[in-house]
Structure 1
Amino acid sequence: MPVSQNKIAIALGILGAAITIFGAVLVFVGPDTINQQIVKNVQIDPKNKMTFTMWKDIPVPFFFSIYIFDVKNPDEILRGEKPVVNQRGPYVYREYRQKDNITFHDNGTVSYQEYRHFHFWRNMSVGSEDDILTVPNMLVLGASIMMENIPYVMKLAISAGFKMFKEEAFVTRKVGELIWGYEDPLVDFINSYFPDMIPFKGKFGLFATFNNSNTGLFTVFTGVDDISRVHMVDSWNGLKTVNYWRSKQCNMINGTSGQMWPPFMTPSTTLRFYSPDACRSMELVYQESGSFQGIPTFRYVAPKTLFANGTDYPPNEGFCPCRQSGIQNVSACRFNSPVFISHPHFYNGDPTLAQAVDGLHPNEKDHALFIDVHPVTGIPMNCSIKLQLNLFIKAVRGFIETGKISPVVLPVLWFGEIGYIDGQVLSTFRTNMVVLPAILEYLQYIFIALGCLFIIIAAILVIRNKDKNPLFCRSYKKCTVVNEIKLFETEKSTMATANGTVLQEVDFVETCPGGEAPQDV
């Protein structure tokens, strides 16, 4: 029996040592193995068909929600009174994105154009595309400021043209027409006789050129040569920098295209991306750690300085001429029209902006933008990008249509672009990027603990066998130690008999095998 237990102890010891070593190896090798797999999955590489297909045809559902500010008192505004607006919507569109014209280059970059398609989703909208709303007429109010400094006589002539084509300061039309365009006789006339005078061709609308369009030719790094640069923009429309702004810093094209970022992020990482719609690079900052559907995330938000003016935040001086903090002048990339972008309802802006218009209620819950990113892969799990389009309006001498309008930045609409991972894509991502790495991390410590347990059990068996062995030899032939003489008990009893008392002692001892008497130690 002792021989059998010794074999078991040796086997357990060897097995325990092997398992412990394997667990220790996993501690050092496991994270590198996971990281290598992550790097492989986030690279833009057609050899990895699954991830390349997901990059090319984004499976994440995007919803484009538009809120329009219905002007309630256009006549009073023309008399110089404070504007009153009523937010209408959302008018929700399912957005589909697909990359096309994909070309890989020898320098580790890939070029593509991403096309956007929009389809109205009535069940998610509050209202229909047939709703009738009133908004500022950008043709009249925008053009009047753009041509404020031309000769007075010319302004009168243009004003007469507005009157002839029945163009007024405010226009009332269906939502679908305001967003996607409508036939305007003035636009048709100008395009017929002065084809290069205005940028609008065909229908005129706030997003007339948005549907079935692309965001320009992006060239980004694939990450095959350097994973830290994956998705980073190398050029946009062939440009390394833009020339809209007044400083080198403001004209820089920084970060990614705004869809993914390099992996292995930390809270000190900022999200930089170039936005063609805003004509500039933007930077979001870490706010907090959280989770989305069981997946750990970092939440990034816009800093208060994003749309600050040059006085409050000197690095933004290049985006000027500026007005109050909270709005950015984008006239330089919008054909010099007096257009400004901001957060919805002028959230995070100078309070005077919202106070100048009745009907605005800025708050963080409804109007702050955010992106929830999985920090290990740099892939967004949930995002809500929100921007507001505003028009600076005022009375311009010579343009009768502008009346006595008091100078004001009037909100026209704001939109939210919302996207999140769900369905099978979410399940696959959670399994591969959260569950399996967690199992591997726990397994390495389970192996170490189990190996140590086997070693301890083996040691206990050895000790127990040593205690039960009948002799230990001082030399090869002679017995040196025998099991301690087991003195069970010396019975002393007095037996009363009829003839007297008998005292008996019984000693029980063991002898060495082979008949030798045990030696004293």
Structure 2
Amino acid sequence: MSRKSNCFMVVLIIIAVILLVLALVSFILLFVFDQLFLTMLAKNTVLQPGSPLFDNWLSPSVPIWFKVYMLNLTNADEVLNGGRPHFQEVGPFVYRENRERYDRQFSNNSSPQTIRYKHRIFYYFQPDLSLTNPNNVKITTPHLYCLSPDARWMTMFTSCEPFTTLTAQEAMWGYYPTSLLEVTGQKVGIFAEINGTDVHEFVVNDGVENIQNIGQIYEVDGKKKLTIWDNDEANTINKLDIDTKIEEINGSLAPPGLQVGSTVTFYVPEICRSTTLYATGKKNTVNSKDVEIIVFTGAPADPTEHIFEWRNRIFCQTKAGCPPKGLVALGPCLNSRGINMPLYLSQPSFIGADPRIGVHFDGLSLPNPDKHVTTVHIEPTTGFLLEAFKRVQFNLLMRNTNKMFKNMKSGIYFPIGRIEEVSFHQLLLTLICLLIDN
């Protein structure tokens, strides 16, 4: 081999060694940067006084808009004679939510480190964003009081009909259908029990020991496990807290390091059960094209997945059985609070539900995934929830059980109205942009 060839080989080896060293240094720097980033993230997002996000977690400054669309039944007499229900959607009636966490207690030296607090929500009407004042609109809707199994004996003594005409305000936030209920202070309405009065107490991990555990629930209302469902896994509440709902955009309450295919399970106290969200894709945030987020929805890319079906089946009850596909039984949760009402939740316009349910009705909006599907947008590195769009429809199972129903068809999941909760967390979005720029 010539001297020239030897020199060439030496140069190649030197270049290879330099490239290897550069690659190794880059890997080490990247690893160190990631660790520094996660350390800085953990320091700034724990649920402890002094954390930049703690005050915002206590009383979120980010606006959360609660939009209500009620369904007005335009042909009640025809329905009682066996006709198809026809609806007119009325809304939106828009409210701004004010969420509060109070009576806070820290475990401090005990392990795991936790924070105990009470949580409630107040709703404030926003006339400028609404169709009109809900007191000025009349709608015909199912008579929740007369249709309650516990109140049916009252039909022997009072005049009861399956449908009633109320103001939208009464149908949403409650009214007194009888003087007896007025004496007891018990209103009847879809949201009669939630405006500042639906208080829950939580014990959650504060993230100080391990940021991956932040928001994990240990107790709800003094219970470490529910007794509502027939399945042990269904009664487990050791899930993530998200205020404690998926629509709360208030800080890093999802674990960092998420990716497409990940799942995040949250406990939702309003329905006394957990719900799992599935990471189905990536996109840029609505308010910034520089930040990429992972889109979580209520169903995986393949809704026939065995684990998805299992997660729904565990909430079936031996007596009542399983609700139809796409419906969530709210009755068991209401029963635990002393309310007997066959209410069911679905996505608006029954999107994703058994197609045999929606064919009974006229006037519902055409199913539109962009408008009717719940989605949560999470920044994967930090676990911050930046945007959320919660869409839910309320339905009442109506059976023709006595003469007041006349010739009405039986076994119908009767839609009452739908809600949409929307929130964008500009503070967290700005923080992430600063971290990216640095």
How does the TM-score come out when normalised to structure 1?
Answer: 0.69
CA contact (8 A) 1:116 1:214 kept: yes
Between the aligned partners of 1:101 and 1:224, the Cα distance in structure 2 is 20
How far is the alpha carbon of 1:266 from its aligned partner? Answer: 2.6
Between the aligned partners of 2:436 and 2:281, the Cα distance in structure 1 is 19
How far is the alpha carbon of 1:351 from its aligned partner? Answer: 0.6
Can you give the 5+ residue segments of structure 2 that lack an aligned partner in the other structure?
1-21, 243-247
CA contact (8 A) 2:348 2:392 kept: yes
CA contact (8 A) 1:93 1:118 kept: yes
Tell me the number of residue pairs that the alignment of Structure 1 and Structure 2 aligns: 387
Q: Which residue of 2 aligns with 1:134?
A: 140
Between the aligned partners of 2:322 and 2:234, the Cα distance in structure 1 is 14
- Of residues 221, 226, 231 in structure 2, which corresponds to 1:237? 221
Between the aligned partners of 1:317 and 1:262, the Cα distance in structure 2 is 26
Q: Which residue of 1 aligns with 2:329?
A: 329
Q: Which residue of 1 aligns with 2:207?
A: 223
The within-5 A match list for 1:469-480 is: none
Between the aligned partners of 2:192 and 2:256, the Cα distance in structure 1 is 37
Q: Which residue of 2 aligns with 1:403?
A: 406
Between the aligned partners of 1:94 and 1:184, the Cα distance in structure 2 is 28
How far is the alpha carbon of 1:305 from its aligned partner? Answer: 10
Q: Which residue of 2 aligns with 1:506?
A: none
CA contact (8 A) 1:220 1:233 kept: yes
Q: Which has the higher contact order (CA 8 A, sep 6+)?
A: 1
CA contact (8 A) 2:93 2:131 kept: yes
- Of residues 170, 189, 192 in structure 1, which corresponds to 2:180? 189
Q: Which residue of 2 aligns with 1:159?
A: 155
Between the aligned partners of 1:432 and 1:253, the Cα distance in structure 2 is 35
CA contact (8 A) 1:289 1:297 kept: yes
Q: Does 1:179 align with 2:178?
A: no
Q: Does 1:256 align with 2:212?
A: no
CA contact (8 A) 1:250 1:318 kept: yes
- Of residues 260, 266, 269 in structure 2, which corresponds to 1:273? 266
SS at structure 1 position matched to 2:32: helix
Between the aligned partners of 1:210 and 1:180, the Cα distance in structure 2 is 9
Between the aligned partners of 1:135 and 1:305, the Cα distance in structure 2 is 36
Between the aligned partners of 1:278 and 1:289, the Cα distance in structure 2 is 29
Between the aligned partners of 1:237 and 1:59, the Cα distance in structure 2 is 25
How far is the alpha carbon of 1:38 from its aligned partner? Answer: 0.8
Q: Which residue of 2 aligns with 1:385?
A: 390
The within-5 A match list for 1:20-419 is: 26-48=29-51, 50-105=52-107, 106-107=110-111, 108-129=113-134, 130-143=136-149, 158-163=154-159, 167-185=160-178, 188-189=179-180, 201-258=185-242, 259=248, 260-292=253-285, 293=288, 294-303=290-299, 313-320=309-316, 321-335=321-335, 336-360=340-364, 361-397=366-402, 400-407=403-410, 408-419=412-423
Between the aligned partners of 2:122 and 2:226, the Cα distance in structure 1 is 26
How far is the alpha carbon of 1:123 from its aligned partner? Answer: 1.8
Distance 1:27 1:207, change over 3 A: closer
- What amino acid maps onto 1:67 in structure 2? Y
- What amino acid maps onto 1:370 in structure 2? T
CA contact (8 A) 2:145 2:188 kept: no
- What amino acid maps onto 1:175 in structure 2? A
Larger radius of gyration: 1
Can you give the 5+ residue segments of structure 1 that lack an aligned partner in the other structure?
1-19, 148-154, 196-200, 437-521
CA displacement 1:338-378 (0-9 Å, x = unmatched): 11111111110011111011122222121111000111221
Distance 1:297 1:72, change over 3 A: same
Between the aligned partners of 1:306 and 1:268, the Cα distance in structure 2 is 11
SS at structure 2 position matched to 1:313: helix
SS at structure 1 position matched to 2:97: strand
CA displacement 1:102-155 (0-9 Å, x = unmatched): 111133011112221111112222233121111100111233xx57xxxxxxx6
CA contact (8 A) 1:394 1:404 kept: no
Q: Which residue of 2 aligns with 1:150?
A: none
SS at structure 1 position matched to 2:172: helix
How far is the alpha carbon of 1:27 from its aligned partner? Answer: 4.1
Bigger drift between 120-129 and 218-227 goes to 120-129
Distance 1:350 1:125, change over 3 A: same
Between the aligned partners of 1:337 and 1:421, the Cα distance in structure 2 is 35
How does the TM-score come out when normalised to structure 2?
Answer: 0.82
Distance 1:81 1:307, change over 3 A: farther
SS at structure 1 position matched to 2:435: helix
Between the aligned partners of 2:100 and 2:325, the Cα distance in structure 1 is 36
How far is the alpha carbon of 1:276 from its aligned partner? Answer: 1.3
How far is the alpha carbon of 1:28 from its aligned partner? Answer: 4.5
Between the aligned partners of 1:305 and 1:359, the Cα distance in structure 2 is 29
SS at structure 2 position matched to 1:319: coil
Q: Which residue of 2 aligns with 1:15?
A: none
Distance 1:315 1:37, change over 3 A: closer
Between the aligned partners of 2:301 and 2:31, the Cα distance in structure 1 is 43
Q: Percent identity?
A: 25
CA displacement 1:171-225 (0-9 Å, x = unmatched): 111111211122322xx42575xx6xxxxx3332211121113451111101111
CA contact (8 A) 2:239 2:266 kept: yes
Distance 1:38 1:315, change over 3 A: closer
Distance 1:252 1:387, change over 3 A: same
Distance 1:113 1:279, change over 3 A: same
